[in-house]
Amino acid sequence: MDYKDIIASYADKPGGIIEAYHAVQRELSYLPVEAVTEAARVFNLPASEAYGVATFYSMFSVASRGKNVIRICESAPCHVAGAAEVVSALERELGIKMGESTADGKFALEFTECVGQCQATPVITINGKPHLDVSPAKIPAILAEYK
């Protein structure tokens, strides 16, 4: 489905622009500028307001990125539990740094704030799915699920 069809399917829903952005991002992994412009048209908003929504929420990205978005919590509990070592393992395994995407477009690495799973730190999410009690040794098996 193309982004125009996705956005149009939310046109009559209250709060539809946010739902449309989620749906577009699930499909494309980010919000292209053309999709934001189309959302402004469909929801009868100034382009600046549609862009403001797309950039205000940390779960949206207006920059192209890998299909499987890996986010690691950078809150204090995860930091104390060894998040830095998990970051190093992810970077080593994927051959990229935080904030980058793999050349094949399969993975992106991002930091995020607390994901509400402090009972099992450190935590990463991949496409929103939490992985708890992550250690560097667990990274290859976790990534294998998405390759």
User: Of the candidates 12, 51, 112, which has an alpha carbon nearest to the alpha carbon of residue 126?
Assistant: 112
For the domain spanning 68-144, the CATH number is 3.40.30.10
Q: How far is CA 18 from the centre of its chain?
A: 14
Are 6 and 23 in contact by the 8 Å Cβ rule? The answer is: yes
User: For residue 114, what pLDDT is reported?
Assistant: 87
**Sequence spans of domains, the chain:** 3-56, 68-144
User: For residue 101, what pLDDT is reported?
Assistant: 95
Could you list the pLDDT tens digit for every one of the 147 residues in the chain?
A: 799 999 999 999 988 999 999 999 999 999 999 999 999 999 999 999 999 999 998 889 999 999 999 999 889 999 899 999 999 999 999 999 999 999 999 999 999 988 888 899 999 999 989 999 999 999 999 999 998
User: For residue 14, what pLDDT is reported?
Assistant: 86
pTM: 0.83
User: For residue 115, what pLDDT is reported?
Assistant: 86
Sheet with 124-126: strands ordered across:
107-112, 68-73, 124-126, 129-131
- Annotate 14-23 with b (16+ C-beta within 10 A) or e (fewer): eebbbebbbb
User: For residue 95, what pLDDT is reported?
Assistant: 97
User: For residue 74, what pLDDT is reported?
Assistant: 87
